[in-house]
Amino acid sequence: MKTLRVLPAVLLLLAFSLHAPRAQDSTSKAEARNYNFLIYYMGSRIGWSKTTVTSEVLNGATVTHEHEDSWLQIKRSFDGMTFESAAVVDYWYHLDGRLIKVVDVTKNGKQSVTVETAYGEKDVTIKETVDQGKPSSTTLTLGERTVYGDTRAWRVLKDSKRLKSGEKLDFWTVDDGDHAFVEQHWTVSGPSKRKLNDKSIVEGTEISIVKGGRASTLIMGDDDMPLMFEDVGGFSLERTDKIPDPFKTEEVELRNTMNANIAILEYAQLTQLDIHFEFEHDDGGGVPPIADTNEYHDVIKYDKGYAIRMKSRRLKSDFESPKYPLTDIPDDIKKYLEPTAMCQSDDETLLAVALKEVKRKTSALSAAKALMRFANKKLRDGSGDTGSASARQAYDEGQGDCTEHAALFVALARAAGLPARNVGGFVYACSASGTTSIFGYHAWAEVWLGEWVAVDATVDAMGTSARYVQFDIDEPGETYGKSRSSRCIRQKIRPIIDGYELADGTKWRRKGAPDFDWDKAGKPEDNK
């Protein structure tokens, strides 16, 4: 049973799979059970999924095999760009619902991502491969955790007759996208009747889910398969009798920018930027607030929403760069030197480019700047046909938006021995004429130079002015900030600038702006 796995909301694409091997040593199959689903985003039909469930013999034991074919297409309303994803996911379960292995291969534009997850008695192994690149492998030790997949969790509730309203089930699950264990909290709402987007009515058992900080609603049928699954970001999977043929998708109204109330031409010189926005609070119970106080900003949660005071992360005049190559890297930072499937720092081509760019550099800062400038010049601005391309694909195509700029810089930095990581959130920007003044969802990077330094290769900036709101660290093993972008997009936040300060001492305050007690913003969290 698959509950939608959503790529970062700024991309607004679902991640499915394209091709998977059959079970080994399988013999004749029992009669197959077939299920059809329609995929929606914010009420717009964007794709379909077909599931076949059979019994098979795998390595001498009878198991359940669930095979899913999926396809979707998103045409963005704001720029007309069309993204298409075709997929196949295969699951093998023990008869009691315990997972054995999952093979998930995603075809997104020109890029194919294969994720193979194997469940053992003491650990779980995740192997991720992009195109024909080198696999990135992670082993997670189970320890004392109770680890379930969704099918097993449902069986535990059902078999123990715990489907009454208020019943709870807390457990751990494997997020194969994040390469990490995440906590799941299931709360049974009881019998439910729901009208779907196609106007049909379904009746089943409703369960509220919080998985790794991301909220969703699941309605299960008596046949142990979903009738509906809706994600907090607005994506839903709804069962249907038949997939329309021919299948026509509906235009999706997406918004990746929000108009600002004033234009700040000198935004690169911002040392402080105060904003607030109304937000229907949906946190608590394992769901994180939209933003936390950290190195980028102070945050106040008030009755109607959030107030954020952004801070400059420009390098101070007395900043002393460590020598290059780095020789003293803390143990907890060294993991950001490792290659990943999307940031292939061990790729021979990217490694050669990185070493060429940092040749004869004696300070880590100058080395990082050289790699940032290379990434900025190498990539033409603009989305390719892949929603989020890997560093190597971006390099080969010579094109990309903010996610590709960040990925290429991170891969090059790691190849050169500089720890680096991808970051996401939103940022303020203004055109030179002042006619366009916006907040936009954005991705950038950070590099370790004795401390974490923000790097925005999209605009060739080492260190950032006070205009960035951080939502998450987008790296394998990191589960911080789940679903923040999608929650903001769904609620259509409208940040209002209340005041700002510039490096030359200029100050501005909006007439009638609310006064917030910034002493109550809390202490900065460790910048993970």
Residue 16 lies in a domain: no
Range of the domain at 341: 261-315+324-511
- Do 211 and 296 share a domain, yes or no? no
pLDDT at residue number 479: 83
Residue 116 lies in a domain: yes
Residue 146 lies in a domain: yes
Can you tell me the distance from the alpha carbon of 415 to that of 392, in angstroms, rounded to the nearest whole number?
Answer: 12
- Do 90 and 187 share a domain, yes or no? yes
- Do 206 and 94 share a domain, yes or no? yes
What are 246's two structure tokens?
């021919």
Residue 363: DSSP 8-state: B
Can you tell me the distance from the alpha carbon of 418 to that of 336, in angstroms, rounded to the nearest whole number?
Answer: 8
- Do 278 and 149 share a domain, yes or no? no
What are 396's two structure tokens?
């080969």
Angle between helices 348-357 and 364-378 (to 10 degrees): 120
- Do 194 and 265 share a domain, yes or no? no
- Do 130 and 275 share a domain, yes or no? no
Q: pLDDT grade, residue 10 (50/70/90)?
A: very low
- Do 181 and 210 share a domain, yes or no? yes
Can you spell out the DSSP letters for 104-131? EEEEETTEEEEEEEEE-SSEEEEEEEET
The closest alpha carbon to 412, from 344, 342, 360, belongs to 344
φ, ψ for residue 406, nearest 5 deg: -65, -45
Can you tell me the distance from the alpha carbon of 93 to that of 160, in angstroms, rounded to the nearest whole number?
Answer: 19
- Do 184 and 283 share a domain, yes or no? no
Q: pLDDT grade, residue 159 (50/70/90)?
A: very high
Q: pLDDT grade, residue 393 (50/70/90)?
A: very high
Single out the residue in 210, 240, 270 at which a domain terminates.
Answer: 240
The tally of domains found in the chain comes to 2
Radius of gyration of the chain (CA): 24
What are 327's two structure tokens?
């020789």
Can you tell me the distance from the alpha carbon of 439 to that of 244, in angstroms, rounded to the nearest whole number?
Answer: 39
Share of the chain above pLDDT 90, in %: 83
CB-based contact 46:72 (threshold 8 Å) = yes
How do residues 208-249 score in pLDDT, each as one tens digit? 999 999 999 999 999 999 999 999 989 999 999 999 999 999
How do residues 98-154 score in pLDDT, each as one tens digit? 999 999 999 988 899 999 999 999 999 999 999 989 999 999 999 999 999 999 999
- Do 296 and 439 share a domain, yes or no? yes
Give SS3 for 366. Answer: helix
- Do 201 and 274 share a domain, yes or no? no
Length of the chain: 528
Single out the residue in 240, 275, 305 at which a domain terminates.
Answer: 240
Can you tell me the distance from the alpha carbon of 406 to that of 378, in angstroms, rounded to the nearest whole number?
Answer: 12
CB-based contact 258:438 (threshold 8 Å) = yes
Residue 86 lies in a domain: yes
Single out the residue in 175, 206, 240 at which a domain terminates.
Answer: 240
Distance in angstroms between the alpha carbons of the first and the last residue of the chain:
32
CB-based contact 116:102 (threshold 8 Å) = yes
What are 189's two structure tokens?
């709402």
Residue 254 lies in a domain: no
| Type and span of the H or E element at 143 | none
**Contacts for 325 with CB less than 8 Å, ≥ 6 apart:** 364, 416, 417
3-state helix, strand, coil in the chain (%, to 5): 15, 40, 45
- Do 400 and 285 share a domain, yes or no? yes
Q: Convert 462-521 into a string of H (helix), E (strand) and C (coil).
A: ECCCCCEEEEEECCCCCCCCCCHHHHHHHHCCCCEEEEEEECCCCEEECCCCCCCCHHHC
Which residues pair with residue 119 across a beta bridge? 124
| Type and span of the H or E element at 271 | strand 270-278
Residue 441: DSSP 8-state: E
Mean pLDDT of 303-320: 96
Position of tokens 């009208």?
Answer: 195
Position of tokens 């033409």?
Answer: 380
Residue 524 lies in a domain: no
pLDDT at residue number 30: 58
Provide the greatest CA pair distance for the chain: 77
CATH of the domain at 351: 3.10.620.30
CB-based contact 445:455 (threshold 8 Å) = yes
pTM for the full predicted model = 0.91
- Do 267 and 352 share a domain, yes or no? yes
Can you tell me the distance from the alpha carbon of 413 to that of 417, in angstroms, rounded to the nearest whole number?
Answer: 6
The closest alpha carbon to 336, from 224, 455, 511, 219, belongs to 455
Residue 5 lies in a domain: no
Residue 27 lies in a domain: no
CB-based contact 222:239 (threshold 8 Å) = no
How do residues 327-382 score in pLDDT, each as one tens digit? 999 999 999 999 999 999 999 999 999 999 999 999 999 999 999 999 999 999 88
Q: Residue 448 above 80 pLDDT?
A: yes
